[in-house]
Amino acid sequence: MRFALMLTTVMAVTLFCAPLGLPDLSIPKDNPQTEAKILLGEVLFNDTRFSADGKVSCNTCHEKSKAFTDHLSVSKGFKDRNGTRNAPTVINAAYFTTQFWDGRSPSLEDQAKQPPINPVEGGLHSHKQMEAIVQKDEYYKNAFKDVFGIKSNEITIDHIVKAIASFERTIISGNSAFDKYHYGGEEDALTAQQKRGFDIFLNQGRCVSCHTITGSYATFSDNRFHNIGVGVKRLGGEEDRVARAFLKSQRQGKKVDVEVLSNKDSSELGRFAITNDITFMGAFKTSSLRNIEKTFPYMHDGSLPTLETVVIFYNEGGRLTPQDPESKFLDGGIRPLNLSQEQQQDLVAFLKALTSPEFK
């Protein structure tokens, strides 16, 4: 009886039927979706008490009305402390095989542990502080009992992040004009200009070689790491020195997430900071492009303000002008594209067709 009941609760909310254009979402076996857990996760996501000044929640940097971003080039944490990186959207983050620009976290559960105790984000000293807040709060006491069947003194950070991750697994959006056209067979869903832009995306622009589209769905990311030239202005030619300083900080016991979010130079090492493998120097995770019109500014450092500047950047082969230096670690897939002004506008128009109805 009890089993049957649980199964219906899980089935009611698990994404068996993803929106048009997205694959079904896999849910970790040890963290099944339930309605009560998702609701609890949303409350935790919005709780500003998990920060040193009581003002910063996940929602501060991932605001629903801003397509789950903050629209800042780099995020501000407690007491307006500046980080080094742009806040990516949480929409569809559940589909990534790693989290963060450098993929240093393997899951949404693990990811959610980091911001509250990062010295430029939540600024708490330890997860114990979070647990203490939750254990004393009447609403949380009851909710954790309902969801996990535990007493208040048994609530740990692992329960907290499970609930947050379950909430994030409901922030899934497809069904854009592109999906209606490409997967729904609605010929009129894209304008003629957007159709030309799609052709450029697939062919002359070679965007699809990293921003993946398959026959039945599109997450727009290969889940891999590439140096596309964004960090070269800051790091160009200095890679060896910065890498050595970073490795020294690691030997001295500095945590990677603290170092990359508080030191602008270390931030630019990208995936190298995680793998210590030189082939990943300045490489960052391929972003999803869904809802891209609404998640400005762009790139890991928020350095490109508009989609027009992004397209110029790619058209010049990973630079803004032909005079800019090129990274010696640049990915082989990034070369000048020779797109005309009109083609560049077409490509921008196509990117705007990736917005889901709920974020229009």
Selected from 56, 67, 213, 330, the binder of ligand HEC by CB under 6 A is 56
The verdict on 60 binding ligand HEC (CB under 6 A) reads: yes
User: For residues 243 and 247, what is the distance between their CA atoms, to the nearest angstrom?
Assistant: 6
The verdict on 209 binding ligand HEC (CB under 6 A) reads: yes
Q: Which of residues 109-138 bind ligand HEC (CB under 6 A)?
A: 111-112, 115-116, 121-122
The verdict on 171 binding ligand HEC (CB under 6 A) reads: no
User: For residues 72 and 56, what is the distance between their CA atoms, to the nearest angstrom?
Assistant: 15
Nearer to ligand HEC, 96 or 187 (CB): 96
Q: Evaluate the CA torsion angle 274, 276, 280, 283 in order and state its sign.
A: positive
Selected from 54, 237, 333, 357, the binder of ligand HEC by CB under 6 A is 333
Cα-based distances in Å from 251 to 119, 245, 268: 20, 10, 19
User: For residues 122 and 109, what is the distance between their CA atoms, to the nearest angstrom?
Assistant: 17
Give me the least distance between CB of 136 and ligand HEC, in Å please: 19
Selected from 22, 33, 67, 96, the binder of ligand HEC by CB under 6 A is 96
Where does residue 20 rank: exposed (0-12), middle (13-18), buried (19+ CB within 10 A)? Answer: middle
Give me the least distance between CB of 7 and ligand HEC, in Å please: 28
Give me the least distance between CB of 90 and ligand HEC, in Å please: 5
Tokens of 275: 């793998």
The verdict on 314 binding ligand HEC (CB under 6 A) reads: yes
* Max CA distance (Å), the chain: 70
- 297: preceding bond cis by omega (within 30 degrees): yes
The verdict on 88 binding ligand HEC (CB under 6 A) reads: yes
User: For residues 234 and 83, what is the distance between their CA atoms, to the nearest angstrom?
Assistant: 16
The verdict on 243 binding ligand HEC (CB under 6 A) reads: no
Selected from 38, 40, 61, 91, the binder of ligand HEC by CB under 6 A is 61
# binding residues, ligand HEC (CB under 6 A): 53
User: For residues 137 and 130, what is the distance between their CA atoms, to the nearest angstrom?
Assistant: 11
Q: How many CB atoms lie within 10 A of CB 185?
A: 8
Give me the least distance between CB of 323 and ligand HEC, in Å please: 20
The verdict on 93 binding ligand HEC (CB under 6 A) reads: yes
Say if CB 119 and CB 78 are below 8 A apart. Answer: no
- Binding residues (CB under 6 A) for ligand HEC: these are 56, 58, 60-62, 75, 77, 83, 85, 87-88, 90, 93, 96, 99-102, 108, 111-112, 115-116, 121-122, 164, 205-207, 209-211, 226, 228, 230, 260-261, 284, 286-287, 289, 292, 295, 298-300, 310-311, 314, 331, 333-334, 347
